[in-house]
Amino acid sequence: MVKVPTEFSKMYIGYPVILICYIEQNGQPNISTGSSSFSLGNMMYLGFVSSGHAIDCIRLTRELVVNVPDKRHMAEIEQCGFTSEKERGKFDLSGHTSVPSKHVSAPSILECPISIECRVEEICTPASHPQYTYVIASIVDRKIDSSLLKEDGFLDAGLVDPVFFVGDHKQRMYRFANEIAVPLGDFITDAVY
């Protein structure tokens, strides 16, 4: 393997695409597409463009819902990511169904197999990179499509089929999870415990 230096101004190594629901200043629900996120325990970490409309609304309500779509939702992913519908909202535009959340004001999306309700703990815009704003939120509820759960009620990770965002500043694309799911630890043949 030969590694060479690059001059990318951005690089996405395969982050899951999410649809973030929030409440507009007029009280109406809206959706924004994101791809900069991860969870750690009961915390959710999200990245936004500082000049974006969604982060302005989230600053006010301090609540959001992270919805995980799959490849059946590609048109909706792009509609919610590439259009600005502040007045009408992207629920109308995308045809998604808004479902009231149990713990936060922002709704979830019925058609997404995973929805995660969150309350914002911290919002940060680093002085070194003011074009980006980071949100740290507590997860207050998770809703999972029952078809993704095993009989014991736990997640069947092999069935989760997220869309991934990959690329650099010249070209970005979507990738889909393949149908091969291998349990963690299967690649260690001589494990020492």
Per residue in 100-133, pLDDT (tens digit) is 999 999 999 999 999 999 999 999 999 999 999 9
Element at 85 (helix H, strand E): none
Chain centroid to Cα 85, Å, comes to 19
Res 191: pLDDT: 54
47-61, 87-101, 171-185 — most confident range = 47-61
5 pLDDT above the threshold of 60: yes
81 vs 25, more confident: 25
**Count of CB atoms situated within 10 Å of the CB of 74:** 14
For residues 96 and 109, the answer to whether their CB atoms sit within 8 Å is yes
Separation of alpha carbons 26 and 177, rounded Å = 38
pTM, 2 dp: 0.89
In CATH terms, the superfamily for domain 11-176 is: Electron Transport, Fmn-binding Protein; Chain A (2.30.110.10)
Residue spans per domain, the chain: 11-176
Separation of alpha carbons 156 and 149, rounded Å = 5
Q: What is the chain's mean pLDDT, rounded?
A: 89
> How far is the CA of 185 from the CAs of 149, 182, 190, in angstroms?
21, 9, 11
